[in-house]
């Protein structure tokens, strides 16, 4: 089943279930509801529809799991989204904190021909502006093993590989020039502290520990 044969809402649910499955042990109704910004009963209704289409296996109290067909569609949508984010930033000059919302709107309308042309024009990229891996044309995806910035030891250096796909966080990190490719050094860290001191380009920055935990480095 091709993504374009499904409603935008179904595509969005499949994409978010796929992303959640990589973040949590069990994709619960409440977890999906929080991610989608809808009520739990709305999620339950959609999961029943997805199960009837053979895209999801949903067992009460055990969570939702994508079928092979559901995962294929989800990865295709993720590919559309991440290619569009990179295209909007590199070709049209949009700022990193704005590309996500635009890609959300465009991902459903992207044809396979245009997807291939964008991929080629960008040089067949492997990562989006946030550092997330872009599935290739065969929908293969390489998930790198990264450490969190807050896991570094004082004095340890690393390179930022991934930043959260969150507009507020991206606005802050962009202003501090702490984006994928930036080299950083953890200066101070204490278990009781809510703020970490990191240095990049000879400048020290204070970063909340919660945000540092969402920044991937290697």
Residue (of 19, 7, 10) closest to 56 by Cα position: 10
Task: Band the pLDDT of 79: cuts 50, 70, 90.
Answer: very high
**pTM of the entire predicted model:** 0.86
pLDDT at 142: 87
Residue (of 72, 80, 77) closest to 16 by Cα position: 77
Q: What span, in angstroms and rounded, lies between the C-alpha atoms of 129 and 96?
A: 7
Q: What is the mean pLDDT of residues 39-60?
A: 93
pLDDT at 190: 60
Q: What span, in angstroms and rounded, lies between the C-alpha atoms of 19 and 35?
A: 10
Where are the domain boundaries for CATH 1.10.10.10 in the chain? 1-143
pLDDT at 162: 94
Residue 191 has pLDDT above 60, yes or no: no
In the beta sheet, which residues pair with residue 206? Answer: 197
pLDDT at 202: 86
Neighbours of 166 (CB within 10 A): 15
Where are the domain boundaries for CATH 2.30.30.90 in the chain? 147-217
- Is domain 1-143 in CATH 3.50.30.10, yes or no? no
pLDDT at 194: 86
Residue 184 has pLDDT above 60, yes or no: yes
Residue 163 has pLDDT above 80, yes or no: yes
Distances (CA, A) of 124 to 115, 138, 206: 11, 12, 36
Task: Band the pLDDT of 141: cuts 50, 70, 90.
Answer: very high
Q: What is the mean pLDDT of residues 99-118?
A: 93
Task: Band the pLDDT of 179: cuts 50, 70, 90.
Answer: very high
List the Cα angle 87/88/89 in 5-degree steps: 90
Q: What span, in angstroms and rounded, lies between the C-alpha atoms of 207 and 195?
A: 5
Q: What is the mean pLDDT of residues 126-154?
A: 92
Task: Band the pLDDT of 51: cuts 50, 70, 90.
Answer: very high
Residue 178 has pLDDT above 60, yes or no: yes
Query: Which range among 2-6, 48-52, 196-200 shows the weakest confidence by mean pLDDT?
Result: 2-6
CATH code: domain 147-217 is 2.30.30.90
């Amino acid at each position: 089943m091709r993504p374009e044969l499904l409603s935008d809402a179904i595509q969005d649910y499949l994409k978010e279930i796929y992303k959640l499955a990589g973040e949590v042990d069990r994709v619960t109704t409440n977890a999906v509801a929080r991610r989608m910004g809808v009520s739990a009963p709305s999620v339950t209704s959609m999961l029943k529809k997805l199960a009837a289409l053979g895209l999801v296996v949903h067992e009460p109290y055990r969570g939702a799991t994508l079928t092979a067909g559901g995962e294929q569609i989800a990865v295709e949508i993720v590919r559309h989204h991440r290619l569009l984010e990179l295209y909007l930033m590199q070709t049209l000059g949009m700022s990193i904190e704005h590309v996500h919302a635009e890609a959300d709107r465009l991902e459903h309308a992207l044809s396979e021909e245009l997807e291939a042309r964008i991929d080629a024009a960008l040089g067949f990229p492997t990562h989006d502006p946030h550092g997330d891996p872009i599935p290739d044309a065969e929908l293969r995806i390489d998930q790198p093993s990264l450490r969190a910035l807050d896991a570094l030891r004082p004095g340890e250096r690393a390179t930022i590989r991934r930043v959260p796909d969150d507009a507020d966080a991206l606005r802050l990190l962009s202003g501090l020039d702490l984006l994928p490719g930036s080299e950083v050094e953890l200066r101070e860290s204490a278990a009781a502290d809510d703020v970490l001191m990191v240095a990049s380009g000879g400048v020290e920055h204070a970063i909340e520990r919660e945000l540092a935990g969402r920044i991937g480095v290697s």
